[in-house]
Amino acid sequence: MNFRNISLAAVLSVIASTVAAQAPAPAPAAQSSNATCIKQKLSSESLVSELLDDPAAKEVLYKHVPSLKGNDQFDMARSMPLRAIQPYAEETFTDKVLDAIDADLAKLPVCK
């Protein structure tokens, strides 16, 4: 199947239905009051839930992939590592984009 001609929304819909059949999503973690630091070291290998639940990490994610902001279908992929989504949306989650996300996340200090 050629995934290059499928929209991001369609890919996220397939991912969401696959994830829904798996274990339920973990409860959201408490958010940090400081959006300039992260609760733990994060990367593109982190779960989508860890990235979305941390305000500073979410800002980095939306900076590099603005189409995810407000996308309810992406929120359904919470139990997957971000990099695991790449094969389903190669044009959105390129190596360059994921590497840039990793670089920006690495610059964020861990909250104390």
Rg (CA), the chain: 14
Cβ proximity of 42 and 59 under 8 Å: no
At 81 the three-state DSSP class reads strand
Instruction: Spell out the domain ranges in the chain.
Output: 36-112
How does pLDDT run along the chain (112 residues), one tens digit per residue? 555 556 776 667 666 665 555 555 554 444 444 457 888 899 999 999 999 999 999 999 999 999 999 888 888 889 999 999 999 889 999 999 999 999 999 999 998 8
Q: What is the pTM of this model?
A: 0.69
